[in-house]
């Protein structure tokens, strides 16, 4: 019952968000920009304009596997972004470049996310085994400790939201100020980034729903 009331709606939202970002990406991957600027060129322009000439841009295989790696100071763009001159490619490349700028400017949510990452990773790996042991031993204190560890996933996703939306805001500002794109192209990039942002909102919703479900289970067993 808890699953149907709490988790299922969040899961349906997540399924919709994933379908939306994929369909939006495919739609705007077919729309070529008037400037014919590639994802690589857009990223390079944004990075250089922000004093990040030392950030390398590499090609990585896959679809939507684009990311900025702060450990190696490398921006990696996927097959459909690196060489493509589509609206989708420009939006994705600009977004990932925004992450690189965040690290350069010591954007506070990025620093917080980096700081809590080890704890959140441990929580995500240890939570379920600890909760299972708690149930087997009949120890609700151990079960609740597992819930606490599991909730760290939601904390990480909550901190991730401003990081992702801020990167998109930076991306749109950079694309608009470049003067290289038409209004319809900017609208397409905005739609692409909005759809991507919804996947992070959906992930947080699923985690929060699961935390609430586990707390209700704990309260019921404690009666």
| Residues designated catalytic | 96
Residue labelled with tokens 């919804």: 198
H or E element: which one contains 134? helix 108-137
3-class DSSP assignment, residue 66: coil
Residues 6+ apart with CB under 8 A from 97: 42, 43, 46, 47, 68, 75, 170, 171, 174
CA distance 26 to 86: 10
Handedness of CA 43, 44, 47, 49 (dihedral sign): negative
CA distance 213 to 6: 7
Please name which of 116, 118, 144 lies closest in space to residue 131, comparing C-alpha atoms: 144
Structure tokens at 43: 């990223």
Question: For the chain, first and last CA: distance in Å?
Answer: 18
CA distance 115 to 110: 9
């Amino acid at each position: 019952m808890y699953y149907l009331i709490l988790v299922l709606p969040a899961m349906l939202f997540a399924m919709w968000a994933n379908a939306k970002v994929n369909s939006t990406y495919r739609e705007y991957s077919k729309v070529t920009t008037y400037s014919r600027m590639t994802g690589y060129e857009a990223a390079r322009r944004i990075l250089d304009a922000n004093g990040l000439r030392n950030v390398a841009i590499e090609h990585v295989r896959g679809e939507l596997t684009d990311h900025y790696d702060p450990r190696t100071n490398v921006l990696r763009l996927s097959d459909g972004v690196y060489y493509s001159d589509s609206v989708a490619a420009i939006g994705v490349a600009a977004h990932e470049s925004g992450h690189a700028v965040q690290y350069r400017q010591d954007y506070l949510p990025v620093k917080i996310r980096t700081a809590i990452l080890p704890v959140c990773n441990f929580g995500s790996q240890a939570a379920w085994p600890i909760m299972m042991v708690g149930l087997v031993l009949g120890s609700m204190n151990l079960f609740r400790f597992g819930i606490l560890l599991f909730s760290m996933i939601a904390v990480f996703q909550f901190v991730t939201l401003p990081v992702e939306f801020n990167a998109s805001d930076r991306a749109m500002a950079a694309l608009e100020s470049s003067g290289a794109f038409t209004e319809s192209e900017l609208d397409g990039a905005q739609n692409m980034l909005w759809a991507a942002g919804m996947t992070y909102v959906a992930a947080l919703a699923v985690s929060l729903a699961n935390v609430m479900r586990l707390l209700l289970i704990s309260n019921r067993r404690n009666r």
